[in-house]
Chain A
Amino acid sequence: MTEQSAKQKKQVNSWLKYQRKYAHGKLSRAIAFGSLNGLLMILQTGVLAYLIDLFIFAETDVSLNKSEITAVNSNVIFNDTTLIIILLVLVICCRAALGYFSECYSRRGAMDIKANIRSRLLNRLFQFGPAFTQTKGSAKLANLLHQGIDSLEDYFAGYLPVIAYCAVIPIAILVAVFPVDWQSGLILLVTAPMVPFFMILIGHKAQRLNEEHWSKLQRMSSHFLDIIQGLTQLKIFNASRREIAAVKKISDDYGDETMGILKIAFLSSFVLEFLASISIALVAVILGFRLYYGDVDYLLALWVLLLAPEFYLPFRQLGAQYHAKMAGVTAAEDLVDILNSPLLSNSQEIIFTDPISIKLEQVDYAYPDRCNALTHVDIEFSSPGLYAVIGESGSGKSTLIDMVLGFIAPSAGKVTINGNRLSSENRDHWLKHCGWISQQAQVFYGSLAFNVGLSETYQNERVIEALEKSGLADFVKNLELGVETIIGEGGAGLSGGQIQRLALARVFYHQPDVLILDEPTSHLDQNTEEIVTASINEYAENHIVIVIAHRLHTVIGAKNIIVLEQGKVIESGNHQALLERNGYYAQQVKI
């Protein structure tokens, strides 16, 4: 188990690193600029040390021989210093610019990567279809697509560059320090490996603690939202005061738990800071004494002293980015799962021609970890008319519909359209002949006409015609902008009945050969209900219409009623035939 999760972690990490290529070199540029910035820092401190040394010891020189050379000397100093000052200002400006571009490039690169991942993930989801999004939970997937992917930003823009700096900058400093002052270099070199060592040691403990406490913390924090959302419920139970009193205790526990984890994190930075402070102090003191005994040049000593804190800076930054790494890896785990699942091809070109005939032969289907949703189903939809599918929730109605639409493939048996086997490869061609209305139809952000035609290049007359047929024409006429009115989020509001009629208009616009719908159960006003039912019945005269029916009066007129129970077709026939059979259906009707 642990080996497996370690392997998975490795896979996630390598996946994350692999995503760098989608930044198209921006991240590499950011890292190059950042590293160059670090190298210039070595130069800057060197020049500053040189300048200070020059001033101080020039003064001392001057004060020592207040004689004739002063004029010449100051002249030299003047020329020398001007140049050096210009150099220093130049270096500082360069570093500011490098810092700016490094930050911009790293963020831009991270955004490019995220945008790319989002497109690919969305593409996958549309390939896998509704069966997949339903099992994963569409709200969860939407969240993964947005916040989940966005939480990768700090991994790419923060953590990855810092890792590179940790490798580049301390080594560069060591290279600079060793030739001039090997003793200080040695101090830095000895402490340097201890930093990652302790960080890994403590990091592991923190991670284990994190994993142990994670679900507990999640539960506590969700409890807070829970209390607000369920406050009325608690009042009903007369438990609101009691539970609110408990909030304090839970909050305190939450604090204690989190402190337990933070303590470890603080300890890790404590060790880091301790090592850094002590070695800076050590470098300073040793340099002091060596200066005292004239063992080392002041310029070099000052330079080394200025470099010492910079040596530890990348490690400190790494400590701060640890959280970004954890968050990135957690988010990536879900992403890798989906993006690494095998792609289905949809290359098969099949032209389905009218008249359409759909056949399900000995079809079985089972969802993972559940008993069969469909067992030995044989159904044929071959001539125009209304087909009703009825059954209790969980009897397999939705599964059946998903199978007819090609969103799921039977685990045994086959679905054929005009004799061609329906598969994921020709699903999209098949769907061109289908129309779909869900129980609660959806409105998309855009104009009313866009919502009917579902394309930016809709045909205006046909849209109006479709709206007329669905009984929305009067409503649209009263709108100032007519079919151009923006609806959906932030746009004009539509009532439940109007949305259902809009979905109907979609069907009239597209004129699918096969219309499949899940009858709305929520209370539409009677008027809407009648219009919708009448329109559907009319459509069924020339097309195949398959309806998941919840109401008696829809079913009565159906050409064939298919009764499902626990994934099996227990009876079928028209209203009269089923009544005569005196089975499940007849029982339902006679309450």
Chain B
Amino acid sequence: MKIFFRLIILFKPQLPLMLLGAFLSVITVLANISLLAVSGWFITLMAIAGTTGITVNYFTPAAIIRFLAIVRTAGRYAERMLTHRATFNALAHLRHYFYQQLEPLLPYYQLDLRSGDLLARLQQDIDNLDNFYLRVLLPIVVALISVPIVCYALAIFSQTIALLMLSTLLIVAIVLPVISYLVSTELAKEKTHLEGHLTTELVNGIGAIKTLLVYQVGISYQRSIANITRKYYAVRYRLVKINAGLNAITFLLINLSALACLFILLPQLSSGEVDSKSLVAVILLVLVSFETVSNMPLALQLLPQSLASAARLFAIIDKEKPIDIGVEAIMRSDIHFNNLTFSYPEQKNKSLVDINLSISAGEKVAIIGASGAGKSTLVNLLMGFWPTGKAVSETNQYNNGLITIGERDLSLIKRESLREHIALMSQQGHIFDASIADNLRLANDKATFEEMREVCQLVNLLDFIDSLPNGLDTWLGSTGTGLSGGQAQRLQVAQLLLRSASVLILDEPTKGLERRNEELVMSNILAHVKKNKQSLLVITHKPLMLDKMDKIIVMEHGKITAQGSHQQLYSSNTYYQTLLNYF
């Protein structure tokens, strides 16, 4: 309930439009059911007038019928336009809100949110809320307003009928959906499970098609998929049957209650309490009155889903934001790690132990080590993604030591200033579904086309871009042209080179690059930083160009095990020697 109201509060700016939409919906529904009732009333009136020869005012009802027909049609159109407009406005607002709330949390909670699965679910959850107004809130509001009106109208003729209809409408709108929910909960769970199972099996199987074919198990794999499909559809069919059964019961309720009303009214008809015109009107009204609740089953079915989505989203954005006490600007660019020990929140293992390291302005440093050695953690801390120094020294006894930039505690530096100052090409880099130019502009929104072409030349991507019909405006990503792994990697290097930072960090810059490109890109990077007097920090496990570095740092299990020049390490460090034996 709390979640429900919190969600409603989020919709506040759109509330007037939403309410207007709901109001129009009610009018349309009421006009629709009145149309048939009035028509029935009218032709009965005319029939009686015709047989008895009494003159009647037939202009008014005829006009009402035409009026209702127009209200119904125009109302439906206006209502749809309005409610959808409100939905899209709400969507824009909600997305913006959630993204804004999410921004400070990543990548601090990346360890929990790491899997793409979870991010996709986050997206799915936000999508689910898109429907909240149209499919959940609106039907409920329409039913809440129009059911009493219909019942009140019926009560004018007969209170028994009004009560009967109120209870039938309640059964159709609430009792049946709740029963269906309870009956199908287990099945729905099983369905979700089988659905997930089918997806993973298909993804695994198609991905491993070579193995399956080589070991001659293609047929048995196909058979197992057919098996899962059969089970999955069997469960879905049972859900269909429950749903179809409920539809049949609803149909019976509607028609039998109309019949029942006829019998309830008969004695009153003979006693003259109700005239025959009203009798026909009431029967027809009852037959169509179910339109007021026709969308309720779906709404109640979606309600728990929407609330669960909202709950998950709220749980994420309610997470404690990482401490940010940075306010100062950066003055100088030499970096020092002083006795830094660090462990990620809620993890016992120390990711970094007693790190002492300095990178002075303009220096070129390489960090090498196996995965898990703590190289990326070092970078994460340098980018200010996890609090260090003063921000945590009082709260976390395991994390101590200090990172300073220009002799100032990194945690006191304003995040924007820090990221202006230090530029990173991370291993988990993301190419956006946007044009090449847009992707480059993300790194530097003031970059001109000449500058973009220049950096693309430096990473040897320009020939490729010029070969594309749309050049820099070529759309990338899942909805556009795919880049090969190497091309994506080089584009990210290009992005980095566009940044006007004084420290450049490259995490595995030549991953997936061919040797020719590897050499070319690395030497261009070196020339670029030299020209711009930038410091360079390269994290790598490839032996490329290590001799061009001022300093090489070897890390193992969160510790620095050796540092020195290429020559020094080549003669003394065994790890370094093995590293050089890779292609």
Interface: A394 (CB within 8 A): yes
CB-defined contacts of A434 to chain B, threshold 8 Å: 214
Beyond A56-B44, A231-B106, A288-B62, whether A236 also contacts B582 by CB under 8 A is no
Instruction: Give the A-B pair count, Cβ closer than 8 A.
Output: 384
Q: Contact check, B96 vs A244: say whether CB atoms are below 8 A apart.
A: yes
CB-defined contacts of A240 to chain B, threshold 8 Å: 103
Q: Contact check, B443 vs A235: say whether CB atoms are below 8 A apart.
A: no
A435 CA to B212 CA, complexed, in Å: 10
Complex: chain B residue closest to A556, CB-CB: B581
Q: Contact check, A92 vs B252: say whether CB atoms are below 8 A apart.
A: yes
Q: Contact check, B216 vs A235: say whether CB atoms are below 8 A apart.
A: no
Q: Contact check, A226 vs B95: say whether CB atoms are below 8 A apart.
A: no
Q: Contact check, A251 vs B40: say whether CB atoms are below 8 A apart.
A: no
CB-defined contacts of A294 to chain B, threshold 8 Å: 50-51
Interface: B326 (CB within 8 A): no
CB-defined contacts of A552 to chain B, threshold 8 Å: 581-583
Interface: A353 (CB within 8 A): no
Interface: B389 (CB within 8 A): no
CB-defined contacts of B434 to chain A, threshold 8 Å: 223, 226
Q: Which of A279-287, A328-336, A372-380, A533-541 lies on the face that meets chain B?
A: A279-287
Q: Contact check, A438 vs B39: say whether CB atoms are below 8 A apart.
A: no
- The range of chain A's interface size is 35 or more
Q: Contact check, B423 vs A126: say whether CB atoms are below 8 A apart.
A: no
Q: Contact check, B210 vs A436: say whether CB atoms are below 8 A apart.
A: yes
Interface centre among B103, B241, B383, B543 (most CB of A within 10 A): B103
Query: Contact mask A224-237 → B, CB, 8 Å, 1/0?
Result: 11111111111111
Complex: chain A residue closest to B417, CB-CB: A238
Beyond A56-B280, A292-B49, whether A235 also contacts B202 by CB under 8 A is no
Q: Contact check, A280 vs B35: say whether CB atoms are below 8 A apart.
A: yes
Distance from B353 Cβ to chain A, minimum over Cβ atoms (Å):
21
Interface: B230 (CB within 8 A): yes
Interface: A591 (CB within 8 A): yes
Q: Contact check, A230 vs B432: say whether CB atoms are below 8 A apart.
A: yes
Q: Contact check, A100 vs B245: say whether CB atoms are below 8 A apart.
A: yes
Distance from B112 Cβ to chain A, minimum over Cβ atoms (Å):
14
Q: Which of B136-144, B220-228, B304-312, B357-365 lies on the face that meets chain A?
A: B220-228
Query: Contact mask B403-438 → A, CB, 8 Å, 1/0?
Result: 000000000000010011001101011101110000
Query: Contact mask B240-264 → A, CB, 8 Å, 1/0?
Result: 1101110111011001101100100
Q: Contact check, A55 vs B40: say whether CB atoms are below 8 A apart.
A: no
- The range of chain B's interface size is 35 or more
Residues of A366-413 at the interface with B, using a CB-CB cut-off of 8 Å, are 390, 392-394, 405, 407
Q: Contact check, B202 vs A104: say whether CB atoms are below 8 A apart.
A: no
Query: Contact mask A133-169 → B, CB, 8 Å, 1/0?
Result: 1000011011001100000000000000000000000
Interface: B327 (CB within 8 A): no
Beyond A103-B244, A125-B209, A278-B69, whether A247 also contacts B76 by CB under 8 A is no
A108 CA to B237 CA, complexed, in Å: 7
CB-defined contacts of B217 to chain A, threshold 8 Å: 454-455
Q: Contact check, B512 vs A281: say whether CB atoms are below 8 A apart.
A: no
Residues of A284-319 at the interface with B, using a CB-CB cut-off of 8 Å, are 284-285, 287-289, 291-294, 298, 301-302, 305-306, 309
Interface: A93 (CB within 8 A): yes
Query: Contact mask B283-302 → A, CB, 8 Å, 1/0?
Result: 11000000000000000000
Residues of B64-90 at the interface with A, using a CB-CB cut-off of 8 Å, are 65-66, 68-70, 72-73, 76-77, 80-81, 84-85, 87-89
Interface: B5 (CB within 8 A): no
Interface: A339 (CB within 8 A): no
Interface: B477 (CB within 8 A): yes
Q: In terms of DSSP, what is the predominant structure of the interface of chain A?
A: helix
Beyond A56-B44, A288-B42, A301-B47, whether A138 also contacts B207 by CB under 8 A is yes
Q: Contact check, B244 vs A281: say whether CB atoms are below 8 A apart.
A: no
Q: Contact check, A454 vs B43: say whether CB atoms are below 8 A apart.
A: no
A531 CA to B133 CA, complexed, in Å: 60
Interface: B199 (CB within 8 A): yes
Q: Contact check, B46 vs A431: say whether CB atoms are below 8 A apart.
A: no
A1 CA to B508 CA, complexed, in Å: 46
CB-defined contacts of B514 to chain A, threshold 8 Å: 392-394
Q: Contact check, B77 vs A270: say whether CB atoms are below 8 A apart.
A: yes
Beyond A104-B244, A130-B213, A219-B475, whether A281 also contacts B39 by CB under 8 A is yes
Q: Contact check, B214 vs A89: say whether CB atoms are below 8 A apart.
A: no
Interface: B548 (CB within 8 A): no
Complex: chain A residue closest to B547, CB-CB: A591
**CB contact between B252 and one of A93, A232, A234, A280 (< 8 Å): that residue:** A93
Interface: B116 (CB within 8 A): yes
Q: Contact check, A229 vs B430: say whether CB atoms are below 8 A apart.
A: yes
Distance from A225 Cβ to chain B, minimum over Cβ atoms (Å):
5
Q: Contact check, A285 vs B279: say whether CB atoms are below 8 A apart.
A: no
Distance from B101 Cβ to chain A, minimum over Cβ atoms (Å):
10
Q: Contact check, B280 vs A302: say whether CB atoms are below 8 A apart.
A: yes
A-B contact pairs, 17 of them (CB 8 A): A129-B210, A233-B430, A236-B419, A236-B423, A237-B419, A239-B443, A255-B87, A256-B88, A259-B84, A263-B81, A267-B77, A273-B77, A301-B47, A434-B214, A442-B207, A442-B211, A455-B220
Given contacts A103-B243, A237-B443, A390-B583, 15 further A-B contacts (CB under 8 A): A59-B276, A100-B244, A100-B247, A104-B240, A104-B244, A115-B230, A122-B225, A138-B209, A222-B479, A231-B107, A258-B88, A277-B35, A434-B214, A456-B220, A551-B583
Name B residues whose Cβ lies closer than 8 Å to a Cβ of A: 35-36, 39-40, 42-51, 56, 58, 61-62, 65-66, 68-70, 72-73, 76-77, 80-81, 84-85, 87-89, 91-93, 95-96, 99-100, 102-103, 106-107, 110, 116, 119-120, 122-123, 126, 197-218, 220-222, 225-226, 229-230, 233, 236-237, 240-241, 243-245, 247-249, 251-252, 255-256, 258-259, 262, 266, 269-270, 276, 279-280, 283-284, 370-371, 383, 385, 416, 419-420, 423-424, 426, 428-430, 432-434, 442-443, 445, 475, 477-480, 486, 495, 499, 512, 514-516, 541, 543, 580-583
Query: When A and B form their complex, which 9 residue pairs have the shortest distance between CB atoms, in order from nearest?
Result: A255-B88, A251-B92, A230-B430, A284-B39, A277-B69, A442-B208, A281-B69, A103-B244, A288-B46
